[in-house]
Structure 1
């Protein structure tokens, strides 16, 4: 079990610091004492139901729902149903690095001290929570990295919902990036373009319909899901053909094609020459020199 560590996570230029001591699933949260924290708090109801009372109000929490609380908000969990189990964690936010300023897009949407923000249950959030709880109780040497990966996905999902369509970044080459949502789309393609990229899965991650997701991809890259996926695969194949000695069949598999013939036909139709011809005409001059060093 990971414990006592501070996990550092970055989503664009948004930095998160999470102390692992704060990641805990507890039944005694219900009917707790009134308290506040200097950090943001996230509470996810794993089972049962509970009531959060806070300064100036209260809210019911159903199984699978998540609450995000601002720092310094005095609150307590009142008695809920028997067996209510709540996963809680505390985190700090800060601006880091450069690049697209997702931090400025997010901060106006964060909860104010007056009231928490509720997130309805979703498969995407449930999957992240399962990954966090499994990793937090694992003895694996990779447990910390597993928890960090699940936390990054969870906060990307939550921040995407918070920022929504309201925050648009400046126009850049290749289309218009839509804040955190554009970042999620770009990261998804970069991670899964070789194997497993799915419009349905991306739509679920963005909490959008397939049509809305297609429009968001087109706004960001100028083309739809299938076309952008194909362009990424062809570009990667070109780089491997010109910069490596790998066999072409290996390269086909490395960029997501199980069939060499299918890869050959698509590559030739797109690039205008065969993979073999492309390698001969675009081979990097210093490749043999680099191998000899």
Structure 2
């Protein structure tokens, strides 16, 4: 390895006799440091659990996940205690995805170029879940072809690799976790998600995994953009909605608290008084009815009392 950046190494690898190479790696106690390399990497998790971290995103990985890592991407895998990660890595030289083979068929050539281009353009990588065990089987077949080197094995390796790309693309277009248009602005996505799901228990860890961010990275970005924490935002939206229900319905305070996702009444009263400067019953009085038009600030200003 040679120095790449501070605390980052650039990994060199000499491809043996094909531009597609398969090898296994076991990660125990995160012994492999953060690094980057000039080739593409398709890492299939054959056992264990842990976390994949790149420069701008991270997500959990477990047996049956496949992670696509583009060239020059700083990354690292972390295993969980007593659950070392075993990876089967498919390493691919750049030119394999850059220059489709010359075929005297314009339509077929276009299809191959489209498939390869979808990976060349995926600069931040992705993770797919091998629910049907298809990807693992192809990776295993590639490993056997490389190991036994029977006549025509280079040709078969290329065809199996193209099959792997096509299946990953199909997974990505259906239910894969990856950075797509919907989550290209993760903070705005989560704010909208809060407004649509504030009355339910929100699993922040699952949200972050879908956004390819660690909870820590997400919390930092969220506060940088909004000025408040994710928890404050969720509480503000819940109190904002409870204010509307207090004015628009004759429901009991307890019913309203449950409706906005705050079943702990002591906690609800404390939050409401903190945000609004009065109790729910006081807010409901006719002389305070004008307050409902002044609660839009709640999603940005966590402690300013209503006046």
**Fold-level match, TM-score > 0.5?**
no
Q: TM bucket by the smaller chain?
A: 0.3 to 0.5
With normalisation by structure 1, the TM-score equals 0.43
Max Rg structure: 2
Query: Structure 2 length as normaliser, TM-score?
Result: 0.42
